[in-house]
C-alpha cells in the first residue's frame, strides 16, 4: 500500500489538505460500476464535480468529498440510484471497470457506494471491462 502523504504521490486532481481521508485505502476494486452519459466513455466522465463544476461545493459537502469520483460495488447497488430524477436524466450506461490497487485511494461508504481519488497515472477509460446500457429499472 502506498503512503498518502509525501511529495511523490500525484493525484489526478488537485486535492485539499488531508485528502483523501485516513479511512481511504489503496486497494484493488474489481468490477465496480460508474454511471456514464453515453455508450462512449471519455476520461472526463470520471472527473469529480470539483473539476466539472468548480471548487465550490454545496455547503453540505466537503471539498475532499467533492473531489472524489463515485463508484458502486455491484450493478444492483448502482441501478437503484438511477431511479432518482437527476441521475436518470443524465446517465444511460454503466462502465464496469477494474481499479488496480496502485490507481488511487477509495473509501467505502454505506450500501455499496465508493469514493475514489485517482492518481494521475491512472487512465480509467482503459480500465473499463465492459459498457452496459442501464435500460428500464
Partner 1 sequence: MSEKKRRAKYVSTLVYVDEPQLILLESKKTKIIAMAIDLGGHEFPFMAATMTDVDWRKYKRGSVDLRYLFAFARLRRLYKFDLGELNLNTGLLMEPWPADLPVANFLPDSRFFVRDHTEPLPIVQSASALQHFALDGAWGLPDFASFYNKISDIYAFISAIAKFKSAQTSYDEKRSIISAFAHHPFRGGFSYVNLFDHLERLLGSGDSLQVQSIRYASAGYVNVKGNRSVFAEIQEFINIFSNKNEEIGKQYNKLYKYLADGDFLAQDSAALERTSPEILKLIRDEAKTLAHMMSFAEFDLMDTFADRNEVVLAKIIMAFYRRIEQSFMFFAQGRVEFGDLT
Residues that bind partner 1 (CB under 8 A): 35, 48-49, 53, 56-61, 65-66, 69-70, 80-90, 109-113, 137
Least gap, CB of 17 to partner 1 (angstroms): 21
Least gap, CB of 109 to partner 1 (angstroms): 5
Least gap, CB of 80 to partner 1 (angstroms): 4
Residue 131, Cβ density class (10 Å: 0-12 exposed, 13-18 middle, ≥19 buried):
middle
Q: Where are the alpha helices (DSSP H) in the chain?
A: 49-53, 63-66, 75-81, 85-90
Whether the CB-CB separation of 37 and 45 falls below 8 Å is answered with: yes
3 or 84, CB closer to partner 1?
84
The grid coordinates of residue 16 equal 485539499
10 or 52, CB closer to partner 1?
52
Amino acid at each position: 500500500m502506498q503512503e498518502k502523504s509525501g511529495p511523490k504521490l500525484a493525484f489526478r486532481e488537485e486535492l485539499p489538505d488531508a485528502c483523501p481521508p485516513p479511512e481511504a485505502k489503496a486497494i484493488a476494486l474489481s468490477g465496480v460500476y460508474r454511471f456514464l452519459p453515453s455508450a462512449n466513455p471519455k476520461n472526463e466522465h470520471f472527473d469529480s464535480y470539483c473539476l466539472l463544476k468548480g471548487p465550490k461545493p454545496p455547503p453540505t459537502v466537503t471539498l475532499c468529498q467533492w473531489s472524489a469520483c463515485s463508484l458502486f460495488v455491484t450493478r444492483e447497488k448502482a441501478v437503484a440510484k438511477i431511479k432518482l430524477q437527476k441521475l436518470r436524466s443524465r446517465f444511460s450506461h454503466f462502465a464496469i471497470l477494474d481499479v488496480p490497487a496502485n490507481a488511487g485511494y477509495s473509501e467505502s461508504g454505506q450500501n455499496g457506494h465508493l469514493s475514489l481519488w485517482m492518481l494521475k497515472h491512472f487512465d480509467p477509460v482503459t480500465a473499463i471491462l465492459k459498457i452496459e446500457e442501464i435500460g428500464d429499472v
